[in-house]
Amino acid sequence: MPLGLTLTIAALPLLILWPALRLYQWPLLWWAAASVVALCLYGLDKRRARRGQWRVPEMTLHLVALLGGWSGALLGQQLWRHKTRKRPFQVAFWSIGLVQACLLVEWLWLGGRNLMPLWRGLFPL
């Protein structure tokens, strides 16, 4: 994937987070911290793969992406050319990104009005 496209896609969460950033800074800090962790994990896993050492579990990579580090994971994949050809991994990775983006849009742009009834049904007070 070309660098410009990678950076554009990786920056999309910032555009989605924009409404919250006017009121709170914690979403930006969370996104940045999770992205740095994901980027480092991809680098570590690639390094260990080359050396034949113990690897970072794929579930860990997906969990960090799910918890907000998707942008850093994308950058790590492209920077180190790691996990880019493994189709099942990529399907899960892009699905996480899509679900994460939809949830952020619902929460920040639509005020959670579409998912709030579901949330209240799952977790009644």
* Residues 34/64, Cβ–Cβ less than 8 Å: yes
Q: What is the pLDDT of residue 80?
A: 92
Query: Are 102 and 115 within 8 A, CB to CB?
Result: no
Is 89:55 a contact under the CB 8 Å cutoff?
no
> Among residues 76, 89, 78, which one has the least CA distance to residue 5?
78
Residues 18-44 have a mean pLDDT of: 85
Fill in the DSSP letter of residue 25.
S
Average pLDDT over residues 86-111: 86
Of 99, 92, 78, 93, nearest to 1 by C-alpha is: 78
Contact 94, 100 (CB under 8 A): no
- Mean pLDDT, the chain, rounded, equals 85
pTM above 0.85, yes or no: no
Q: How much is the pLDDT for 117?
A: 73
pLDDT confidence bin for 102, thresholds 50/70/90: confident
Render pLDDT for 34-90 as a digit per residue (tens, 0 to 9). 999 999 999 999 999 999 999 999 999 999 999 999 999 999 999 998 898 999 999
Average pLDDT over residues 95-100: 90
Which residues neighbour 72 within 8 Å (Cβ) at sequence distance 6 or greater? 10, 34, 35, 36, 37, 38, 39, 42
Q: Is residue 116's pLDDT more than 80? A: no
